[in-house]
A = this chain, B = another copy of it.
């Protein structure tokens, strides 16, 4: 790569003069500035950002940590790209670039984050897939690195976070199913210690309890949050004794509905007829037959809120975004489809 030293040598100028010319300092005359600028273009000069970061303490980059790996591809795919779009809308106002930090499913997220921070190429971080206890939160807070969590955690460093309103989904979804006569309501939860699993199951128990329905652990279906996971649920339901099966199902995860639909058709328990289904909106869900009754939110808006809430905590941006430390759940709306039109046998 052509650096400032090569440029200075070629032009027979000092590095200081070339640097001041490139940075538009007033003590360089127009002719010199033009010579430097033309030579920089012609030689393919690349400003050394590593040097800049050292001086300014600012890289202009914000990292969004997410996990990759075949078993989580479903959710990772559909959700994050739309969120990124919203985040970028905000960052574009400030010439900040978003990069996705891809933590392989093979790797410990804590060790990954520590390495990424040590590489030091981002000014701030967005973390996702928060666990019930999440060491990343303490790690970043201790190092005073600005960050926001997409997802709640029991680990509390007084940090900003946004999360989906899983309690609201449980309340609205289960009450709707109970009012249609359902008493056996199945629910999906992830296999790992993602905090959303704890929040969702806890809310599910509370709402059932309020409706006078006993919690039945057999109605909690655990699996991978992707199409195959949804497909597997249908086959697990079919394998249960008839009187033990759920008559309805709440899916708070968007990636499973396609697989669940197809599985339910395969085992002869069609959605909206044998089993009422309430799910989450997704590009694929639009094409399901019968139309999926689902919770919707604008992922782009969620991305915008994430970015603005993060900037509210970053030096140099907090005055433009006087939001304080944002810690809130984002509500979802219910779209009424036909997938839960069947009534439960009371």
Contact = CB atoms under 8 A, between A and B. Distances in A.
Interface string A303-330: 0000000000000000000000000000
Tallying the copies of this chain within the complex gives: 2
B258 A287 contact: yes
Interface string A45-84: 0111111011000011101000011100110111001101
Q: Which of A44, A116, A231 has the most C-beta atoms of chain B within 10 angstroms of its own C-beta?
A: A44
A91 to B, nearest CB: 9
B143 A1 contact: yes
Given A81-B68, A104-B92, A46 B300 contact: no
Contacts of A262: 287, 289
A100 interface: yes
A97 B68 CA distance: 13
A11 interface: no
Contact of A77 (B77, B145, B231): B77
Given A44-B142, A59-B121, A77-B78, 20 more contacts: A2-B143, A44-B143, A46-B145, A48-B54, A49-B120, A49-B121, A50-B51, A50-B53, A61-B119, A68-B81, A68-B84, A73-B85, A73-B283, A76-B81, A84-B102, A99-B100, A121-B121, A227-B284, A227-B286, A227-B287
